[in-house]
Structure 1
Amino acid sequence: MIRNGMRPIHPGEVLSKELMEPLGMTVMDLAMPMNWPESEIEKLMKCQLRICADLAIRLAVHLKTTPEFWMNLQSTYDLRRAQLRQAGL
């Protein structure tokens, strides 16, 4: 396993710290136009929810990114956590 010393970064953390906070966006500001439950956006931001394809598409449209960006963040996070578990860390 390649170890880069970085902890796995959840997509919800990227959403919160890199996009919503700098834009001054609230959970409601994001959830309402996406027609997605606020409670699920809150769970995502608390790193308690995975990005699914539907959510990736909605985030991409609303935040002017791509669905692949969100899905790649999720798969990278999942892979890194599995590598750490495999290594017993």
Structure 2
Amino acid sequence: MMMHSPPHPGKILKSLCFDPLGLSVAEAAEALGINSETLSDLLDGHIAVTPEMAIRLSAAFDTTAESWMNQQAQYDLWQAEQRMGKVKVRKLFPLRLAELS
């Protein structure tokens, strides 16, 4: 379990790309080929970075799609862990490799 709450990728996008570059939502949305409402929702942390959005962001900001997807996965996993708490799960280990094939 992670020890801290990772920021939503939209918050990272805003602080590392939008704020330093002085980008407006309208300007960036047009460059990304999406509508302003969608981009605002992403920046506000209301929607997730999808694989398609990760590709768009990587092309626009010279990053990798994998970095955006990894940030989203870390955020989603932490959120799920908080919701799940202490879940009772019965271990299925050890499984024999022969049983898996």
Q: Determine if contact 2:51/2:65 at 8 Å carries over to the other structure.
A: yes
- The list of structure 1 runs, each at least 4 consecutive aligned residues, that deviate by more than 6 angstroms after superposition, is none
2:66 paired residue number: 68
Q: How many residues are aligned here?
A: 86
- CA RMSD in angstroms comes to 1.3
Supply the distance in 2 between the matched residues of 1:3 and 1:12 (Cα, whole angstroms).
Answer: 20
Q: 1:87 to 1:31 in 2, by over 3 A?
A: same
**Mapping 1:21-60, distance limit 5 Å:** 21-60=19-58
> % of aligned pairs identical?
31
Supply the distance in 2 between the matched residues of 1:42 and 1:77 (Cα, whole angstroms).
Answer: 18
Report Cα offsets for 1:17-52 as digits up to 9, x if no partner: 121101111112211111111110000011101111
Any unmatched runs of 5+ in structure 1? none
Normalising by structure 2, we get a TM-score of 0.79
1:85 paired residue number: 83
Supply the distance in 2 between the matched residues of 1:16 and 1:87 (Cα, whole angstroms).
Answer: 30
Normalising by structure 1, we get a TM-score of 0.88
